Amino acid sequence: MTADAEELAIARFHRGIQAKMAVGEALAVGVALAADRIANTLLGDGHLLIVGLGCGRHLAALLHQGVVHGFGFARPALPALLLEADCHGIAAEDDPLAAQLRALGRPQDCLALIVPDPVPPPARGLLHAAHSRDLPCIVLCGAVGAELALATPDIELSAAAEHQTLTLEIQLSVIFALCELIERHLFGGSAT
């Protein structure tokens, strides 16, 4: 282990901290609104439908885990569904995730869509499918999603950073914040 490697590791941690601080304050209002929307969806007999594209698939699984089972304390499970692509029996021209969303989505549900930067083409089809079912959407994306067709009730959480790995770090922090705020809303106590 060289001193150069240690310095590079420390510099990388510092870049991550700086990126989160630069974007964190701008995201705070949107994160609070998104957590409130998800909590109210769950209180209103709705489900949180979660989809991740690209690297966002891993973050979607983590959000699903946090909403269903939580991270901080033992509590009842919450209704969230992680939608994943299964291409068996789906026509080639139809995106399997959009097909699942159209089949399962109800107006009292909410879609959480996690997309990397740049935004992959299926994201637009997923948003269109959600809007066709009157689902409000929360979109956690890298760059500002101007290229996405967001509707008025949708919430965009843009975690843009200079590098994709930093964007993913910010998105991870957003997911943990969402889970803590949802638990606080539903079960009381203070978010840690």
DSSP 7: H
pTM, entire model: 0.89
pLDDT one digit per residue (tens) for the chain, 192 residues: 677 999 999 998 998 898 888 888 889 999 999 999 999 999 999 999 999 998 899 999 999 999 999 987 889 999 999 999 755 444 445 689 999 999 999 999 999 999 977 778 788 889 999 999 999 999 998 876 556 777 778 999 988 888 888 889 999 999 999 999 999 999 986 545
DSSP 120: P
Residue 94 is predicted with a pLDDT of: 64
Flag whether 82 is in a domain.
yes
Beta bridge partners of 113: 51, 139
Residue 91 is predicted with a pLDDT of: 43
Domain holding 131, by residue range, is: 3-187
End-to-end alpha carbon distance in the chain: 35
Residue 35 is predicted with a pLDDT of: 97
Number of structural domains found in the chain: 1
Alpha-carbon 28 to chain mean position: 14
Flag whether 36 is in a domain.
yes
Flag whether 192 is in a domain.
no
CATH code where residue 55 lies = 3.40.50.10490
Flag whether 34 is in a domain.
yes
Beta bridge partners of 51: 113
Residue 143 is predicted with a pLDDT of: 72
Closest CA to 137 of 118, 101, 112: 112
